Amino acid sequence: MANRPFVFPFLRGLYAASELEVDILNERLNEYLGCSFDDLRETRTNSTTMEQVLVKPDGTEERVPYHYVASIGPGPRSILWGWQLALDAGRRDPVADEIREYGRYNGIDGLCTPEVEFPPGFDHVDDDSERQYLAHELGVATTAILHQPYFTFAAGRGSFKVVVLDLPLRPITFADLGSVPRYLEENPNMMNEQAAVRGFAESQGWTVKEPVPPRLVISESEPATDDNSYTIDFTLSGRLFSFTKDLPTRPCAATM
């Protein structure tokens, strides 16, 4: 994604802030399933019960509730947000509603407009790979709001659906911050590693300070102490330069 233009530029900031969280959630998802999501034998959608049926390599099934994020329609050349899909079906979806409320609170009109037309220049509406690309753009960006793994699937007549999976994944803790260098190494195509690390830390409610740009000091609580913080330096282009776990300060022994 790092070298591709955004279909919807208003999603750029959310996308950049959530790339690291997406990778961590996907790892948690694989852990929950006991196999890689890519190794699933089959995935089926039950739109009546709002469940994704995930068939594992051994043939066992995992039924996972989902919530609509958005629908991509090549016919109307637009996306329809999940909260509007729910309203059209005569119900409310509090999870999908979070997208609209986030847009209202942060002044992002594209998130609280029921239907958003494809922008001029998006000429690949009939290309499945381009619609899939757009689906991932929507899924990654809205992870910054919903904080659960997303899933995309073809829904007939050239449309794609983006959903968020409702799973009891293992909680993220401050200890996971220590694995940031590994995640960044495994995904060298992030738009901006600094934005991804900051966005991940802020999504967890941790304290993020930037004493000397482009340095981040991330602590689990405030005030920060030496044993609950990391100092992370980045290049001017936003790439990781150094990553340090701050060591506890030991009091000096008294001398006579």
Inform me whether the pLDDT recorded for 183 exceeds 90: yes
Maximum mean pLDDT: which of 45-49, 140-144, 242-246: 140-144
* Confidence class for position 32, pLDDT limits 50, 70, 90: very high
Same domain, 147 and 212: no
Look at 46-50, 112-116, 127-131 and tell me which has the smallest mean pLDDT: 127-131
For the stretch 87-102, pLDDT in tens is 998 998 999 999 999 9
Same domain, 209 and 192: yes
How far apart are the two ends of the chain, measured CA to CA in Å?
A: 63
Residue 256's pLDDT band, with cuts at 50, 70 and 90, is very low
Tell whether 221 and 96 lie within a shared domain: no
Kindly state whether residue 254 falls inside one of the protein's structural domains.
Answer: no
pLDDT per residue as tens digits for the range 185-229: 999 999 999 999 999 999 999 999 999 989 999 999 766 555 689
Average pLDDT of the segment spanning 63-89: 92
Is there a domain that residue 59 lies in? Answer: yes
Q: Is residue 253 part of a domain?
A: no
In a domain, 3, yes or no: no
Same domain, yes or no, for 110 and 216?
A: no
Same domain, 138 and 54: yes
Q: Is residue 97 part of a domain?
A: yes
Specify the pLDDT at position 35.
Answer: 96
Residue 204: how many other CB atoms lie within 10 Å? 18
**Is the same domain home to 45 and 78?**
yes
Note whether 209 and 217 are within 8 A (CB): yes
Domains in the chain: how many in total?
A: 2
Please tell me whether residue 116 adopts helix, strand or coil conformation.
Answer: strand
1 lies in some domain: no
Q: Determine, yes or no, domain membership for 256.
A: no
Residue 153 sits in the same domain as residue 193: no
Range of the domain at 211: 174-245
Instruction: Please report which confidence band the pLDDT of residue 1 belongs to, taking 50, 70 and 90 as the band edges.
Output: low
Q: Is 252 within a domain?
A: no
> pTM for the full model?
0.90
Banded pLDDT at 125 (limits 50, 70, 90): low
Per-residue tokens: 184: 């960044």
